[in-house]
């Protein structure tokens, strides 16, 4: 299977930005600017309180709405958390799991990432699973080891069937929100390493069908070159996804 037959997914991660009314305006504008751009799936992952109005605003458009986190338990005494069933009932189809900001600031580990992703898959969601090395690890020459280990731990126990709803986002932590982007060759190299690990775990067919995105200061200026790489099947975009014109130009670059 070749790159052309894998699904290209351009996903925005709004992080903790946009009030509900701002979200509605941004979803509508993004949808109108990307109308008819069917060469990739378009997802906006929004804060929890924005989900319901964003889903409403996205109805009838090609923009899909995702969440930024999910808890692994179905319900109970977990103040501040949201379950997978709550997300599906509000119309969410995607959820980001394991973003480096959650790992860095909120104590997420590969074990909790794996559990959260499993809960999301059980509820029928598509998971955007983030992983990537920090700067010290890249400088120490252990990027391959780090991303391989994360891939194995984060996907532990998932079936080949479930892998159809797993998108992996390779996000070098040193490139997120810093303006530093991995070069297209660096992105390609690590996305290919991750695909190799997926092949070890699930076989070549599953690996060739798995969407592997790059994320880390992707913008409308660098997207085309990054997305041209064989193993880069889309992008997870933070800052640039907050500006519909910029995000739409990234979508355009993916056509």
Nearer to ligand PEP, 197 or 240 (CB): 240
State whether the Cα torsion 235-237-11-219 is positive or negative: negative
Helix (H) or strand (E) holding 41, with range, is strand 41-45
When the beta carbons of 151 and 217 are compared against ligand PEP, the nearer one is: 217
Residue 195: partners with Cβ closer than 8 Å, 6 or more residues away: 207, 208, 210, 212, 231
Q: Which residues bind ligand PEP (CB under 6 A)?
A: 13, 15, 171, 176-177, 215-218, 236-239
Closer CB to ligand PEP, 60 or 179, in the complex: 179
CA geometry: angle 255, 235, 245, nearest 5 deg? 65
**Cβ 99 to ligand PEP shortest distance, Å:** 6
Q: How far is the CB of 240 from ligand PEP (least distance, A)?
A: 6
208 catalytic per annotation: no
In the complex with ligand PEP, which residue's Cβ is closer, 13 or 69? Answer: 13
Give the single-character DSSP code of 98: S
Nearest residue to the partner ligand PEP, using Cβ? 238
Query: Catalytic pick from 101, 108, 133, 171?
Result: 171
Shortest reach from residue 13's CB to ligand PEP, in Å: 4
> 165 and 178 in contact (C-beta within 8 Å)?
no
What minimum distance in Å lies between the beta carbon of 247 and ligand PEP?
A: 10
Query: Which entry of 71, 99, 101, 188 is annotated as an active-site residue?
Result: 99
99 classed as catalytic: yes
Q: Which residues are catalytic?
A: 99, 171
């Amino acid at each position: 299977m070749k790159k052309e037959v894998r699904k290209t997914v351009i996903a925005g991660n709004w992080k903790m930005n946009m009030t509900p009314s701002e979200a509605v305006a941004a979803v509508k504008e993004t949808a109108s600017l990307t109308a008819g751009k069917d060469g990739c799936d378009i997802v906006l992952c929004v804060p929890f309180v924005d989900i319901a109005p964003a889903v409403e605003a996205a109805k009838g458009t090609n923009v899909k709405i995702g969440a930024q986190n999910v808890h692994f338990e179905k319900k109970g005494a977990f103040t501040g958390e949201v379950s997978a069933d709550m997300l599906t009932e509000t119309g969410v189809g995607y959820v980001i799991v394991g973003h480096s900001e959650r790992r860095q600031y909120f104590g997420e580990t590969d074990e909790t990432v794996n559990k959260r992703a499993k809960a999301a898959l059980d509820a029928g969601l598509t998971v955007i699973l983030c992983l990537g090395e920090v700067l010290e690890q890249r400088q120490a020459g252990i990027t391959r080891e780090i991303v391989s280990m994360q891939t194995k731990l984060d996907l532990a126990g998932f079936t080949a069937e479930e892998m159809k709803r797993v998108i992996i986002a390779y996000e070098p932590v040193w490139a997120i929100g810093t303006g530093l982007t991995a070069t297209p060759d660096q992105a390609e190299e690590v996305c290919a390493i991750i695909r190799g690990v997926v092949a070890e775990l699930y076989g070549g067919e599953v690996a060739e069908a798995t969407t592997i995105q790059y994320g880390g200061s992707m913008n409308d200026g660098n997207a085309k070159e990054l997305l041209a790489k064989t193993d880069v099947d889309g992008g997870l975009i933070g800052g640039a996804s907050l500006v519909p014109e910029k995000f739409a130009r990234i979508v355009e670059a993916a056509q």
